[in-house]
Amino acid sequence: MKYVIITGMSGAGKSTVLKFFEDIGYFCVDNLPPSLIPKFLELCDKPNSDIEKVAIGIDIRGGKMFDDFFTYLSEIKNEKNLFEILFLDCSDDVLLKRYKETRRSHPLAKNERIISGIIRERELLSDIRRKSDYIIDTSNILARQLKQKINDIFIENKSFDSLMINILSFGFKYGIPSDADLVFDVRFLPNPFYIDELKPLTGNDISVHDYVMNFEESKIFLTKLIDMIDFLIPNYIKEGKNQLVIAIGCTGGKHRSVTLANELFYALNKKENSSILTHRDIDKDSKK
């Protein structure tokens, strides 16, 4: 029997992930109190049961019973019962935005501010997060990308690392992204903005791309950037980092930064890194 315990921050996507597990043949149960896990799995493991794979969703709503989570897991861990823990994480800012959009209250906030509940929950879940087999940060991941991650881990049995790379192009005149871990300034490259036929286009257009990448400085910069990121990724993973935001900026965030961000994204994807590409300011000039 194969078991997966799905837990993590409230609002990080546990219900969505449970649906993905249903799609790949798991028998799913949500919000099961930890104290009932041994009895539930005993029922699933009876000779007349045709259940082979189980996914159990557990969150902080389990109350005091959640404190003894690992005690209950130790009762079921043996050669016959193999279980893994999937922890869904998310940044405080994104969680706060999701709660405001859905107008839901946080289970630990009660009459307090939502952020107070988020902070308290993060502290309570710190131990289980450290002991989890897989950590997926859903802050900047699309539903289809999350589903692909689940398939890669639990169907394809691909090697897993918890680092999600967010490549972000931006314009310096609109401000440096506050969540950036690494910021690269490509304003040293010739600017397509001053070429009449290229000015209204973006780095997503082939003519702008070819103009930017035709310069030797662009090629050298890209080569050195990829080499550095290749060096950093395994070291970040080793230290437990689960999200890396790489920001590439030019003046307006429309031409040079978009081109280089695209190139870095394609290069990392070829090496099967989990990455997301965002062009924050690509449309801002066109709106004026």
Provide the pLDDT confidence category of residue 263 given band limits of 50, 70 and 90: very high
Provide the pLDDT confidence category of residue 37 given band limits of 50, 70 and 90: confident
pLDDT score recorded for residue 288:
42
pLDDT score recorded for residue 142:
82
What is the C-alpha end-to-end distance of the chain, expressed in Å?
60
More confident residue, 260 or 233: 260
Q: Quick one: 44 and 150 in the same domain?
A: yes
6 Cβ partners below 8 Å, 6+ apart?
Answer: 14, 17, 18, 21, 55, 56, 57, 58, 86, 88
150 inside domain: yes
Q: Quick one: 111 and 186 in the same domain?
A: no
20 Cβ partners below 8 Å, 6+ apart?
Answer: 146, 147, 150, 151
93 inside domain: yes
Q: Quick one: 75 and 99 in the same domain?
A: yes
Q: Quick one: 52 and 145 in the same domain?
A: yes
Q: Quick one: 69 and 133 in the same domain?
A: yes
More confident residue, 110 or 176: 176
Distance CA 124, CA 178 (A): 27
112 inside domain: yes
- Span 55-107, pLDDT tens digits: 999 887 655 556 666 677 766 655 455 788 899 998 888 899 999 888 888 88
285 Cβ partners below 8 Å, 6+ apart?
Answer: 252, 254
Q: Quick one: 39 and 138 in the same domain?
A: yes
Q: Quick one: 12 and 142 in the same domain?
A: yes
159 inside domain: no
Q: Quick one: 40 and 136 in the same domain?
A: yes
Coil, helix or strand for 74?
A: helix
| Residue 180 structural domain | 164-287
Q: Give me the chain's average pLDDT, please.
A: 86
Q: Quick one: 67 and 174 in the same domain?
A: no
> Bridge-partner residues for 165, per DSSP?
244, 275
* CATH number where 65 lies: 3.40.50.300
Out of 94, 120, 154, pick the residue that ends a domain.
154
Out of 122, 154, 186, pick the residue that ends a domain.
154
- Span 209-252, pLDDT tens digits: 999 999 999 999 999 999 999 999 988 887 777 788 999 999 99
Q: Quick one: 270 and 174 in the same domain?
A: yes
What domain count does the chain have? 2
235 inside domain: yes
Average pLDDT for 103-122: 86
Chain centre distance of CA 260: 22
Q: Quote the percentage of the chain above a pLDDT of 90.
A: 45
| Alpha-carbon radius of gyration of the chain | 23
262 inside domain: yes
pLDDT score recorded for residue 280:
92
More confident residue, 4 or 66: 4
Provide the pLDDT confidence category of residue 127 given band limits of 50, 70 and 90: confident
Of these ranges, 29-33, 62-66, 170-174, 237-241, the one predicted with the greatest mean pLDDT is: 170-174
Out of 154, 174, 209, pick the residue that ends a domain.
154
pLDDT(115) > 80: yes
170 inside domain: yes
pLDDT score recorded for residue 67:
62
126 inside domain: yes
Q: Quick one: 133 and 205 in the same domain?
A: no
Q: Please give the DSSP secondary-structure letter assigned to residue 12.
A: S
Average pLDDT for 254-258: 97
Provide the pLDDT confidence category of residue 179 given band limits of 50, 70 and 90: confident
Provide the pLDDT confidence category of residue 287 given band limits of 50, 70 and 90: very low
Q: Quick one: 200 and 123 in the same domain?
A: no
